[in-house]
Structure 1
Amino acid sequence: MADEAMSYVGKHLPEFLVGHCARSFLFVRPTAAAQGLEPGRDYDEELVFLICLLHDLGLSEAGNGSQRFEVDGADMARAFLLDAGVEQERADAVWEGIVLHTSDGIAERFSPEARVAQVGIATDIAGLARDALPEDLIAGAVEAWPREDLGYAFVEHHSAQIAGTPGKASPINFPGHVAALTVPPGQAPTWYDMIEGSGWGDRPPYRRSGAPAAAETPGQLASLFLQRFRAGDLDGLIALYEPGGVIGRRGGDPVAGHEAIRAELGALLDDGVAIESVPRSAVSGPGLALLSHVVTLTAPDGTSTVVDSTEVARRQADGRWLYAIDDPFFARRAAELQ
């Protein structure tokens, strides 16, 4: 059964998820032992193996249905097991463990198999009980199945599914919604915060080799803007703004959105305008920064316009800072209205 299950998973899942499933099972024994639980005596290890190995089938193309991925994957796993001759009761136990594998605080109330599998899986992706793992086990598991930036790769993969079938993801879950309501905007813990603190060293896309640089502090935005503007990299410039970001315009009201920002910056590039900026002032708080620069815009004929810019930058969930508002002409318009 183990060989059949491994072959089935390898057929349907990308390598980074196959590795995650395999490591999750390897991490069960030590994390369960830390809870005083032993295989055979306290839980059925074959069932736990099948839960761990099959738990992400809902992220496969074949398992991508209309339900949340845990349920789609559990349905696919149970059908596979029944076809392979596994008894209904045992196939149902695997289904239950897979459905519950993202439900910390709930899985443990159903079965010991669901409980230990959930901890093993959460340990591999978020470092939940990492301290219980022997270092040689970690080294061997990661050597056999490299992590491939699992925590971020998982989000990229699953978000693509959700984009195609939005009904797979409810906009809220109750505990997460309550937590978000009890802290200031932008300060509720996110998936990326959990991954950052997991101890596994998974990298967001912008930290990977060959990826375009990203602003990891508010102050880096202006230098990246200048580099990309001088290079005529319009796509790179747009990537520095939130999708709904606002930009100030020469001789007009501010506009919002990537297409409007593209039009404004593209016009500056087409007109041959040169831009220089010098930091003027900055203040930042949790997740927000207010910045100002002395910006000089020089036309091809040598005429220059000097303005004090007003910029609002916001920290994104994955740690990047992007412009929410970038208005070089805000102070000038305000003065003209007085």
Structure 2
Amino acid sequence: MARISKEISIPDSNLARAVTEYIRDTETELLFNHSSRVYCFGVLSGLKRELKFDRELLYTGAMFHDIGLMPSHSSENERFEVDGAHAARDFLRSYGIPEDDVYTVWTAIALHTTPGVPVHMHPVVALVTAGVEMDVLGLTYQEFSEEDRNAIVKAFPRTPDFKENIIQSFYEGIKHKPDTTFGNVKADVIADKEEHYHRGNFCSVIRCSAWKD
């Protein structure tokens, strides 16, 4: 069992070891380390909120949450979050994980870029998003001690210029299907990288629908 701090350790199970190996072999170092930090911050968030959660499922959700950005797991017309959720679902089913647990991890990944909803759901769903929001957005930065932050980053380093590099990673993973970003935060990534990009507009969809009124 890899121990990061007194409260954080990577699960030591056949499934967790297989997850680690699969993600390490599939993702870039930047995404692997990011996903590992998401798990760590998710664990601490769960402890702070006094939630009961399965660390193995949380680890799987955290590690798979960005795999939909990789060409090997990217569909032509699904949101990258859904691609990642499908990948985790198939992986877990191959290990005979109960379907309720599979669906929990699927949901955690599918909703991890949907602000304001996961926090009210199953702890694994809530904590994957909590980890993402801490590592990418720093929304809860001050809620974690410097000691905890340093221990996590020491174990799974933030590469130089991580902020710009993660934005670029998002862009590389979704630029071929910009329509899938309609109504979610990844539309901001396309707009940041493409000067002439025009994002979809919810009100325009309503006004241009086939209804006559």
Question: How many residues are treated as equivalent by the alignment?
Answer: 176
CA apart distance, 1:80: 1.0
Structure 1 position 33 matched with structure 2 position 9: no
- Residue 44 of structure 1, aligned match among 39, 45, 54: 54
Segments of 5+ residues of structure 2 without an aligned counterpart are: 1-14, 197-213
Please, what is the CA RMSD of the aligned residues? 2.4
Structure 1 position 4 matched with structure 2 position 39: no
Q: What TM-score, normalized by structure 2, do the two folds share?
A: 0.74
- Residue 101 of structure 1, aligned match among 107, 112, 116: 112
List aligned pairs for 1:247-266, cutoff 5 A.
Answer: none
1:127 partner amino acid: G
Alpha-carbon distance change, 243 to 54 in structure 1, aligned in 2, over 3 angstroms:
closer
| Structure number with higher helix proportion | 2
Q: Distance in 2 between matches of 1:163 and 1:112?
A: 31
List aligned pairs for 1:280-295, cutoff 5 A.
Answer: none
CA apart distance, 1:131: 1.8
Q: Distance in 1 between matches of 2:84 and 2:139?
A: 22
Residue number in structure 1 paired with 2:202: none
CA contact (8 A) 1:30 1:132 kept: no
CA apart distance, 1:176: 10
**Highest CA radius of gyration, 1 or 2?**
1
- Residue 81 of structure 2, aligned match among 70, 76, 90: 70
CA apart distance, 1:169: 2.2
CA apart distance, 1:243: 6.2
Where 1:62 maps in the other structure, the secondary structure is helix
List aligned pairs for 1:76-91, cutoff 5 A.
Answer: 76-91=87-102
Residues 121-144 of structure 1 show CA distances to partners (whole Å, capped at 9, x for unaligned) of 210111121222222222122122
Where 2:116 maps in the other structure, the secondary structure is coil
CA apart distance, 1:94: 0.5
CA contact (8 A) 1:20 1:150 kept: no
Q: Distance in 2 between matches of 1:57 and 1:243?
A: 27
CA contact (8 A) 1:47 1:90 kept: yes
CA contact (8 A) 1:12 1:61 kept: no
Where 2:78 maps in the other structure, the secondary structure is coil
Q: Distance in 1 between matches of 2:116 and 2:195?
A: 36
- Residue 164 of structure 1, aligned match among 164, 176, 197: 176
Alpha-carbon distance change, 88 to 129 in structure 1, aligned in 2, over 3 angstroms:
same
| Structure number with higher strand proportion | 1
CA contact (8 A) 2:69 2:174 kept: no
2:119 partner amino acid: E
Q: What TM-score, normalized by structure 1, do the two folds share?
A: 0.48
CA contact (8 A) 1:97 1:117 kept: yes
2:65 partner amino acid: H
Aligned residues with identical type, % of pairs: 27
Higher relative contact order (CA 8 A, sep 6+): 2
CA contact (8 A) 2:64 2:88 kept: yes
Structure 1 position 155 matched with structure 2 position 163: no
Where 1:102 maps in the other structure, the secondary structure is coil
CA contact (8 A) 1:28 1:116 kept: yes
CA apart distance, 1:116: 1.9
Segments of 5+ residues of structure 1 without an aligned counterpart are: 178-189, 192-241, 245-338
CA contact (8 A) 2:65 2:81 kept: yes
Residues 11-49 of structure 1 show CA distances to partners (whole Å, capped at 9, x for unaligned) of 1110000001101111123223333x24xxx22222211
Residue number in structure 2 paired with 1:23: 37
1:165 partner amino acid: K
CA contact (8 A) 2:46 2:53 kept: no
